[in-house]
Every structure is written in C-alpha cells, then in structure tokens.
Amino acid sequence: MNVPRIAFAFALAATLIAARGAPAAEPLKIGVIAEFSGPFAGYGKQMHNGIKAFIRQHGDTVAGRKVEIILKDTTGPAPEVAKRLAQDLVTQDKVDFLAGFGLTPNALAVAPLATQAKTPMIVMNAASSVITTRSPYVARLSMTLPQVTAPMAQWAAKNGIRRVYSIVSDYAPGIDAETTFAKTFQAQGGEVVGSVRVPLKNPDFAPFVQRAKDARPQAVFIFVPAGEQGIAFVKAFTERGLREAGIKLIGSGDVVDDDVLEAMGDATLGVITTHHYSAAHDSPENAAFKKAYAEANGTGSRPNFMAVAGYDGMAAIYAVAKKLDGKIDADQAMAALKGLALQSPRGPIHIDPETRDIVQTVYVRKVERTKAGLYNVEFDRFADVKDPGK
Ligand code: PHB
C-alpha cells in the first residue's frame, strides 16, 4: 500500500542529493587564543598576520575543507581567561585545532584542556621549555628560551666576553633564559657577576640597569618578552650610559623584536642577540613570505618571529589535514606532527618526534642600519638546535 509512496520519497531524496552534489564538508575550524588587546596586543596581531600570509599563499581550503579562523582575545597574561576561551572553543565551536598562545602562562593554562578535550594545540610563540610536557596534544612551532639562549652563551664565551650581568623577566621563560645562559656560559669559563629578575610588566628598568652598571660587567644579558618591555629596557640602558661605559648588550632576540625595532631607533645599533627569525633573513622562502605578509596585511608592519610561527603553525595544520584527508583525529594528527619537516621562511625546521618541540637553526645577529632601515642582520648560525631544557 504505502510502498510506492516510500519508494518515491527515496527516489526524490536521491535526486535532490545528486542535484546538489555531495553534502559540503564541515569547515576546518582553528581557534586562535592570543593577546589581541592590552600591552601584549602585538602578539595576537603578528600571529594573525602570519596566519593570513599563509592563507594568502596557500588558499583558504585544505583537503576539501574550508578553513575557518576563530580569534579569541586573552587581553594579556590571563590564564583563567585563556582557559575559559579554550573551553568555549572546544565545547561550542568544536574546533579541530587550538592555536596561538603568545604568553607562557596562557599556554600552560590551556594544555590540560587540550588533553581532556583531545584537541591538538599548536603553540605559535609561548616559549618556556616545559609547555610541551604538559600535554601529549601540544606541538610547538615557535622556539624555546633555552634553545635560543644557549647559543648566545656559547657565542659570547668564544668572543672574548668573560663577565656578564643577567637581567630577565620574572616568569617561566625568563627563568629558563637566566638558568640556561648561566649554565652554558659558566661551562665555557664565563662568570655571571650578578643577576636580577624583574616583574613581567615592569614599568621602569632604570634601577636594575644601574645595578648592572655598578657591577662593571663586559656585557648585560637580557631577556624580556618582545614589545613594550624591550622598548623600556633599551631606553634605560641608553639613559644610564652603559654603552658609554663600554658595556655591551647581548640577549635573546626578543629585546630587539622586528615589530618595534624601528621605533627603538639607533639605541639598538650593535646589539647582538641569538634568535630563530629575523625579517632580514636572506632566502627565497622568506622573500615569498614577506611578499604574502604585505599583500595580506598592508605595509604598515614588518613580520616578526611570532608572525613566522603563525605562518608555520598553519603550514603544520595544512600538512596534517592533507595527510589525514581532512578527517582530523587528535591522535593521528599528533602522529603526523611528530617528525614533520618544513622549509620555513626562517630556514629548515622539524618537530622532534620525542618531545613535539621544534628543532631549528639559531642565528647570531647584530642590529645594523641597512638601506631598508634597522634590521637584525644574521652573521653566524647554530644548525639543528633542539630544546636543551629537557
Ligand atoms: C612567553 O611568555 O613564553 C614569551 C613571550 C614573549 C616572548 C618570548 C616568550 O618574546
């Protein structure tokens, strides 16, 4: 009795599906948790600019899925906010990947959630060594402080620097920088004549810089998180006349961040740092990256190391999506990330399969005035540096 009618209904449904084609795949959702406002707003901006540069070059669809970027603002170092944003992203938006994370405390707050929700977490900056140990679902596409500061100590010791005063921000990345620099430098016969840890949002470096000057070191070693802290530190270093007293400035590249280098001006000339990316890096990949960055974001800013990590984080996500044919399973995604090798704008990089941390070249650079402005000009390198912090 009813059979013909049911058969008709099936036939109709089949025709409708055929007419529309296969049902469209769900978008590939990437939740980017970063600092988009407040004193660290440059971090979110640069990571997002790097993400946009990648999409500009490689398109907004991968493995048949349209890529959807969802931005969430932590407003600064705010672990509780970061955690709540991650919760929303996994429960409501049902993101395929968590990404971003400029500041270590925000990344540390979210790592346990990546485990609970079984969601891969792609770190695009946060750089204290410990982060990747906090969840098997974390992979880091940026750097670690021990990775970039051990080469600084080696270079300084080999280049006649014997006495150093150390100044770092008082939180995990700063402590990583201080301890790795001291250990490596002392092992090479160097002496740390004094050290101080300053608050993460330190308004005035003058008293700390004066103490450093009074200790009469050959160089001050500095780590502060990129941006405003670097500007404030360099200002005090200049005003207190350390350069005139013959004291060199060395450190991790964060203090002479490309995003603010031009604004810091000639006071940065001659500063020697070690880092994994300089906008002045000379390679075809970096030239193409800078072109895409300018096309996607205008010419108002130059890419810094957070932009390149945003770009490489996207490259990693696209590589995983292709390998899994668009079906993102967290364990399979992590397996695909382990050992992943990319030709980054910064040089060759790969993900250590044991630690899920990045292995990369660390460059020694000096701030110089080039025809295009102030740049960190690379002049030496340490190849295939792993995170020595684990
Ligand atoms: C961090 O919080 O891990 C961090 C932030 C800014 C940097 C480096 C590390 O420049």
SS3 of 69, please?
strand
Using the CB atoms, write b or e for 342-366: b if 16+ within 10 Å: bebbbbebebbeebbbbbbbbbbbb
Beta bridge partners of 348: 343
CA of 382 to the centre of ligand 1 (A): 21
Whether the domain at 28-143+282-356 and the domain at 146-275+363-385 fall into the same CATH topology = yes
User: CB neighbours of 208 closer than 8 A, spacing ≥ 6?
Assistant: 167, 196, 198, 202, 236
- Please tell me the class of the 28-143+282-356 domain: alpha beta
Q: How close is the Cα of 254 to the center of ligand 1, in Å? A: 8
377: closest CA among 224, 253, 248?
253
Residue 6 carries which side chain, given as an amino acid letter?
I
Q: In this prediction, what percent of the chain has a pLDDT beyond 90?
A: 92
List Cβ neighbours of 329 (8 Å cut-off, separation of 6 or more). Answer: none
- Produce one character per residue of 251-281: b if its CB has 16 or more CB atoms within 10 Å, e if not: bbbbbbbbbbbeebeebbeebbbbbbbbbbb
**Amino acid occupying residue 254:** D
CA of 143 to the centre of ligand 1 (A): 9
pLDDT value at residue 20: 53
- 53 C-alpha vs ligand 1 centroid, how far in Å? 22
Nearest CA to ligand 1 atom 9: 127
pLDDT band at residue 1 under the 50/70/90 scheme: very low
Helices in the chain by DSSP H: which ranges?
3-20, 41-58, 79-91, 104-117, 145-158, 172-187, 206-214, 228-239, 261-264, 284-297, 305-323, 330-337
Report the pLDDT value the prediction gives residue 7, as an integer from 0 to 100. Answer: 53
pLDDT, one tens digit per residue, over 207-235 is: 999 999 999 999 999 999 999 999 999 99
Percent pLDDT > 70 in the chain is 94
For a mutational test of ligand 1's pocket, the pick from 103, 142, 168, i.e. the residue with the most ligand atoms closer than 8 A to its C-beta, is 103
Ligand 1 centroid–CA 371 distance in Å is 30
DSSP string covering 90-143: HHTS--SEEEE--SHHHHHHHHHHHHHHT--EEESS---GGGGGG-TTEEESS-
Residue minimizing CA distance to atom 2 of ligand 1: 103
User: Structural domain boundaries of the chain?
Assistant: 28-143+282-356, 146-275+363-385
Tens-place pLDDT, residues 43-100: 999 999 999 999 999 999 999 999 999 999 999 999 999 999 999 999 999 999 999 9
pLDDT at residue 18 in the model: 47
Helices 206-214 & 228-239 angle (0-180, nearest 10): 50
What is the rounded average pLDDT of the residues 110-133?
Answer: 98
For residue 144, how far is its CA from the centre of ligand 1 (angstroms)?
Answer: 9
3-state SS, residue 322: helix
pLDDT above 80 (res 186): yes
Tokens 């295009």 found at: 372
Say if strands 65-73 and 61-62 run parallel, antiparallel, or are unpaired: antiparallel
- Number of the ligand 1 atom closest to the C-alpha atom of 254: 10
Q: Please give all residues whose beta carbon lies within 6 A of any atom in ligand 1, as ranges.
A: 102-104, 125-128, 173, 225-226, 254
For residue 303, what pLDDT is reported?
98
The residues pairing with 368 across neighbouring beta strands, listed in sequence order, are 375
Q: pLDDT band for position 5 (50/70/90)? A: low
Torsion angle in degrees (nearest 10) through CA of 381, 266, 220, 209? -160
User: What is the C-alpha separation between 79 and 105, in angstroms, rounded?
Assistant: 6
- Nearest-atom number in ligand 1 for the CA of 227 is 10
Residue 182 has pLDDT above 50, yes or no: yes
Closest Cα to residue 51, out of 225, 243, 307, 276?
A: 307
- Residue 390: what pLDDT? 74
Residue 242 pLDDT greater than 80, yes or no? yes
125-177 residue pLDDT tens: 999 999 999 999 999 999 999 999 999 999 999 999 999 999 999 999 999 99
Q: Ligand 1: which atom is nearest the Cα of residue 77?
A: 2
| Mutation pick for ligand 1 pocket among 125, 131, 231, 273 (CB with most ligand atoms within 8 Å) | 125
For the residues 249-265, what does the mean pLDDT come to?
97
Q: What does the alpha-carbon distance between residue 60 and residue 129 come to, in Å, rounded to a whole number?
A: 32
Are 53 and 303 in contact, with CB atoms under 8 Å apart? yes
The residue contributing the CA closest to ligand 1 atom 6 is 225
Q: pLDDT tens digits for 328-348?
A: 999 999 999 999 999 999 999
Distance CA 15, CA 118 (A): 38
Residue 12 has pLDDT above 90, yes or no: no
Q: Model pTM?
A: 0.94
What pLDDT sits at residue 9? 53
Give domain 146-275+363-385's CATH architecture: 3-Layer(aba) Sandwich (3.40)
